[in-house]
Structure 1
Amino acid sequence: MSDTVEDKLKNYRTAPFDARFPNTNQTRNCFQNYLDFHRCNKALSAKDQDVSPCVWYQRVYKSLCPVSWVAKWDEQIETGSFPGKI
């Protein structure tokens, strides 16, 4: 089994099982990974560190979330009306 983040990203196919979201409905999982991606980017960018570990969250939310949701959330972030705390 791969141990490093780079190996996991290279072997990534689809979102793995997340015990926080055991049900079939993956809406909350989608939204949480979207938030985690943006929080990760914000935190690492503020410290002038490499943001490549955040790519994991991006790949997960892109495989779970409908494109229309992501587009709407991106637009809301730009306008300052996004409901989540980033």
Structure 2
Amino acid sequence: MDFSDDLLRRAEPSALHYPDGIIRSLNDAMAKALDRPAAQSVGSYIWELVPARQSSVVKRIVAYANKQQLAMRVLELPRPGRCLWSPS
């Protein structure tokens, strides 16, 4: 078992993705948040599956992770009552 398995056990909706933003795996909470089965989400770009108002933010998060050359690429959505991004 690797560290990525632990990340997907979190209560928050979480998805592991490749550097280009394609989903590698996701937990049940993320599948529910995206309102589609995990099998239909794997292989898709993460920003294509989130609400349109969040897609540009998700693209920027993925680009930032690539720029920083982060080893583990996990997108975790906030719990209910918190937001992914809010304009200042």
Q: Does TM-score exceed 0.5, indicating one fold?
A: no
Structure having the larger proportion of residues in strand: 2
TM-score interval w.r.t. the shorter chain? 0.3 to 0.5
Tell me the TM-score normalised to structure 2 length.
0.32
Q: Which has the larger helix fraction?
A: 1
Max radius of gyration: which structure? 1
